[in-house]
Amino acid sequence: MNTFPYTLKSRAEAALNDPHFDFIATYHAVADLRRLARKHPGVLDGQTILALERLLRSNAFRRVRQAYFLFREAASVMTDMATAPGHNGLGSKALASLGHLLLKTDGSAHRGIAEALGSLPVSIAGPRIGERMGTSRPTISWTTLLSSNGLTKSGTPRYIGRSLVVETSEKNHLLVVKLAKKGDTAAGLAKEISWMEALKKPDYSVDCRFHIPAPLSVDNQRVFRLKGIPLAPPETVSRHPDALAIAFIAHRDYFVYPNHHRVDALSAREMLGRNAFLLGRLTAKGVIHDAPIALFHNRTQRLRRDDQGRYQWFRSGRLDQWLDSCAFPNLGLSGLRDFEHLESFSGDSRLLYRHIGSHFLSLLLVAGSHFRCRDKSKVGLDNNGQPVDARDLFDRQLLKSMVLEIFENYYFGFTGNAANGFLPVDLDGLIGRMIAEMGVDRYMTELLRRTDQNALTDGEFIAFLKERGYPAEQLDGLTRGEKDIQIKSGPHLGGFNRQISLPELIEAVAGMSAVCIAGRFISEGGNRT
Instruction: Please compute the mean of the pLDDT values over residues 185-204 and round it to a whole number.
Output: 94
Phi, psi of 200 (to 5 degrees): -80, -5
* pLDDT given at position 465: 85
Q: For residue range 111-166, what is the model confidence (pLDDT) as tens digits?
A: 999 999 999 999 999 998 876 666 789 999 999 999 999 999 999 999 999 999 99
Of the candidates 92, 93, 112, the residue with the CA atom closest to the CA atom of residue 102: 112
Query: Do the beta carbons of residue 124 and residue 288 sit within 8 Å?
Result: no
What is the spatial distance between Cα 223 and Cα 165, in angstroms, rounded to a whole number? 17
What is the spatial distance between Cα 111 and Cα 109, in angstroms, rounded to a whole number? 5
What is the spatial distance between Cα 411 and Cα 277, in angstroms, rounded to a whole number? 7
Q: How far is CA 242 from CA 15, 186, 214, 338, in A?
A: 69, 10, 24, 22
What is the spatial distance between Cα 36 and Cα 236, in angstroms, rounded to a whole number? 59
Transcribe 108-173 into DSSP letters: HHHHHHHHHHTTS-----PPPPP----S---EEEHHHHHHHTT--B-S--EEETTEEEEEBSSTTE
> Confidence band (pLDDT; 50, 70, 90) for 404?
very high
101-115, 484-498, 502-516: least confident range: 484-498
DSSP 8-state class, residue 482? S
120-129, 342-351, 413-422, 475-484: least confident range: 475-484
Is 80 exceeded by the pLDDT of residue 86?
no
Query: Do the beta carbons of residue 142 and residue 228 sit within 8 Å?
Result: yes
Q: How far is CA 205 from CA 6, 212, 253, 343, 477, in A?
A: 52, 11, 19, 18, 61
| Three-state SS at 433 | helix
Query: Do the beta carbons of residue 387 and residue 440 sit within 8 Å?
Result: yes
Instruction: Please compute the mean of the pLDDT values over residues 492-511 and round it to a whole number.
Output: 96
Is 90 exceeded by the pLDDT of residue 308?
no
Instruction: Please compute the mean of the pLDDT values over residues 384-407 and round it to a whole number.
Output: 97
CA 400 to chain centre: 19
Q: Which residues pair with 389 in a beta bridge?
A: 440
Q: For residue range 237-290, what is the model confidence (pLDDT) as tens digits?
A: 999 999 999 999 999 999 999 999 889 999 999 999 999 999 999 999 999 999
What is the spatial distance between Cα 392 and Cα 371, in angstroms, rounded to a whole number? 9
Instruction: Please compute the mean of the pLDDT values over residues 341-348 and round it to a whole number.
Output: 94
What is the spatial distance between Cα 258 and Cα 251, in angstroms, rounded to a whole number? 16
Of the candidates 18, 98, 94, the residue with the CA atom closest to the CA atom of residue 57: 98
DSSP 8-state class, residue 388? P
Of the candidates 480, 476, 477, 451, the residue with the CA atom closest to the CA atom of residue 464: 480
What is the spatial distance between Cα 44 and Cα 157, in angstroms, rounded to a whole number? 68
What is the spatial distance between Cα 253 and Cα 193, in angstroms, rounded to a whole number? 19
| Three-state SS at 241 | coil
- Whole-model pTM: value is 0.94
Phi, psi of 72 (to 5 degrees): -65, -40
CA 435 to chain centre: 20
Instruction: Please compute the mean of the pLDDT values over residues 288-307 and round it to a whole number.
Output: 78
Query: Do the beta carbons of residue 102 and residue 424 sit within 8 Å?
Result: yes
Is 90 exceeded by the pLDDT of residue 487?
no
DSSP 8-state class, residue 301? G
> Confidence band (pLDDT; 50, 70, 90) for 99?
very high
CB atoms within 10 A of CB 510: 29
Is 50 exceeded by the pLDDT of residue 529?
no
Length of the chain equals 529
DSSP 8-state class, residue 499? B
**Is the pLDDT higher at 173 or at 474?**
173
The helix or strand, by DSSP H or E, that contains position 57, with its residue range, turns out to be helix 46-57
**Is the pLDDT higher at 384 or at 88?**
384
Tell how strand 287-289 and strand 244-251 pair up.
unpaired
Instruction: Please compute the mean of the pLDDT values over residues 343-369 and round it to a whole number.
Output: 97
Q: What's the sign of the alpha-carbon dihedral 262, 266, 268, 274?
A: negative
Query: Per-residue b/e over 449-458, b at no fewer than 16 CB within 10 Å?
Result: beebbebbee
Cis peptide before 491 (omega within 30 of 0): yes
What is the spatial distance between Cα 14 and Cα 21, in angstroms, rounded to a whole number? 10
Q: For residue range 10-62, what is the model confidence (pLDDT) as tens digits?
A: 999 999 988 889 999 999 999 999 999 999 999 999 999 999 999 999 988 98
* pLDDT given at position 155: 92
Q: What angle do CA 335, 338, 344 make, to 5 degrees?
A: 95
Tell how strand 331-332 and strand 335-336 pair up.
antiparallel
Is 50 exceeded by the pLDDT of residue 524?
yes
What is the spatial distance between Cα 103 and Cα 101, in angstroms, rounded to a whole number? 5
* pLDDT given at position 73: 98
Of the candidates 181, 179, 185, the residue with the CA atom closest to the CA atom of residue 145: 179
> Confidence band (pLDDT; 50, 70, 90) for 447?
confident
What is the spatial distance between Cα 334 and Cα 214, in angstroms, rounded to a whole number? 13
Instruction: Please compute the mean of the pLDDT values over residues 462-470 and round it to a whole number.
Output: 81
> Confidence band (pLDDT; 50, 70, 90) for 306?
low
**Is the pLDDT higher at 231 or at 310?**
231
What is the spatial distance between Cα 142 and Cα 312, in angstroms, rounded to a whole number? 41
DSSP 8-state class, residue 90? H
